[in-house]
Amino acid sequence: MKRALIIIDIQNDFCPGGPMAVKEGDLTVNVANRYAREFRRKGEYVLALQDWHPANHGSFASVSGEPVYTLGELNGLAQIWWPDHGVQGSVGADLHPDLDRSLIDALFYKGQDIDVDSYSAFFDNGHRRKTELDSWLRERDVTDLVVLGIATDYCVKYTVLDALELGYNVEVVVEGCRGVNLNPDDSTIALSQMAAQGAVMI
């Protein structure tokens, strides 16, 4: 059994002060650092994801012309129109400055395709294209994942559901996750859905 910690999207844009601020998003940083130190101490892997969009990404309300946080459709898939966020190379797309990068073994990027959104760290929302993450983990015989980060109800949720489908054992660090909560219960519901599919809440 080999384990990896998967740190999801702890980026400036999703933290207080950012255009897509998630309430208490910055409180995930210390939890991530604590887990990352523990994983490194045991010789286990620490990986981080970054939402990494082109400046004219199709998920942006500024591109669709629709109001932010409303629901529409992008290339046949349901799409929430987000504020501009995670633009490749911008300060907003950087990892939170207090997240200890020296503990991170590898970075993975998602959301580069202009015409499809990508919540999961493994696949785009249409399950058409795969990131490098699964092959990276398989090459190293990683079977168990511990996941935390932002946002509980989007990128964490879809990463965890895909990981379970791909056959990984998955634990979710609840205190290390924060959600968007367009509806107040979205994160609670997301955690229940992950648990129902076999994720263990720690």
Q: Which residues are catalytic?
A: 9, 110, 155
Give the one residue of 147, 154, 168, 173 binding ligand VGL; rule: CB under 6 A.
Answer: 154
Q: Which two tokens stand for residue 182?
A: 């367009």
- Considering only residues 113 through 132, tell me which ones interact with ligand VGL, judged by CB under 6 A: 119
Please check whether residue 145 is in contact with residue 3, taking contact to mean a CB–CB distance below 8 angstroms. yes
Nearer to ligand VGL, 46 or 190 (CB): 190
Pairing outcome for strands 45-51 and 71-74: unpaired
Contacts of 73 (CB under 8 A, 6+ apart): 79
Nearest to 12 by CA among 85, 61, 80: 85
Report the candidate in 115, 121, 130, 116 with the shortest Cα–Cα distance to residue 151: 121
Do residues 198 and 164 touch, judged by C-beta distance below 8 A?
Answer: yes
Of 82, 109, 123, 168, the residue at the interface with ligand VGL (CB under 6 A) is 82
Task: Tell me: does residue 134 bind Zn ion (CB under 5 A).
Answer: no
Does the protein bind Zn ion through residue 13 (CB under 5 A)? no
Q: Does 155 bind ligand VGL (CB under 6 A)?
A: yes
E runs forming strands in the chain: 2-8, 45-51, 71-74, 77-80, 106-110, 142-150, 169-178, 200-201
Interface residue with Zn ion among 13, 26, 44, 51 (CB under 5 A) is: 51
Report if residue 150 touches ligand VGL, rule: CB under 6 A: yes
Q: Which is nearer to ligand VGL, 38 or 72 (CB)?
A: 72
Smallest distance from ligand VGL to CB 173, Å:
16
Residue ranges binding ligand VGL (CB under 6 A): 9, 14, 51, 82, 119, 150-151, 154-155
Residue ranges binding Zn ion (CB under 5 A): 51, 86, 111
